[in-house]
A = this chain, B = another copy of it.
Amino acid sequence: MTDNRGTTPLERLAARIGRLGAPLCVGIDPHPQALPAGLPPTAQGIERFARGLAEATVPEAAAVKINVAFFEAFGSAGLAALERLRDDLPRDLFLILDAKRGDIGSTAERQAAALFGHLEADAVTVSPYLGEDAIEPFLSYPNRVAYVLTRTSNPSGAMMQDLRVDGEPLYLAVARWAAGRWPDGRVGLVVGATAPAELRRVRETVPGPGFLVPGVGAQGGNLETALRTCHGRAAPGVVAVSRAIAGASRGDDWAIAARLAAERMRGEMRAVGATLGA
């Protein structure tokens, strides 16, 4: 996005991280079975929850990561809710649409049209499995960012990603390939905080790309490792926290509880960050 302020999304992200003192990315993944009491498990319910969560936490957040599947599950009504939510997010907030896309070229172009064109995301997540021509169409949108799945935070992530390729795990081959193919910072890497050793190894292997690190909080990832890994890289990175904020309370106080959890998380991140030096 060449936006009105003449800055790129990554410049805005870096500025926001600097101002807040923390690379907190609030994850919005509204599962209909995990809504606060009183909200119905419908498109309306997830919309109210997602909007309330965004309003409550955006002041603490350098970025917001919305997982589109939670809206797509309700079809066009869900997608309309996502469109309204997107319209009301502040434009200087770095918006990651977590969709894990990637397809043959002409299809990837339409995926990019959906996420970057129609929904005006700053960044998306993409799969490496189809190689570079499944990712290139996303980069035809100037200055937008694509985060390539590298080492994911789910229990079976290791199953494929740790397969040995020429003596090293596949995830490292993916990291090396993405960093070498697109060295300009617009391609980042998704590496879960639940795999701290792998996170460090990716950090050491490829110094350039920014990280999107999910898995801190409910999934059990370690905050300090996540921050240490993002720190001091060429491109800014973010640490995504979802359930620990969104699920802070399921009572009537859910919005204020989420805000307090985000404040607390940002405070922890600042404190840890201070120990890492400039």
Contact = CB atoms under 8 A, between A and B. Distances in A.
Interface residues of A, number: 59
A252 B100 CA distance: 38
B106 A31 contact: yes
Contacts of A45: none
Contacts of A156: 130-134
A276 interface: no
Interface stretch (A9-17, A161-169, A195-203, A263-271): A161-169
Interface in A127-178: 127-134, 149, 152-161, 163-166, 170, 173-174, 177
A259 interface: no
Given A31-B110, A129-B149, A154 B166 contact: no
Interface of A: 29, 31, 67, 69-70, 72-80, 82-83, 100-108, 110-111, 113-114, 117-119, 127-134, 149, 152-161, 163-166, 170, 173-174, 177
8 contacts: A29-B106, A70-B107, A75-B79, A76-B77, A76-B82, A100-B101, A104-B154, A160-B177
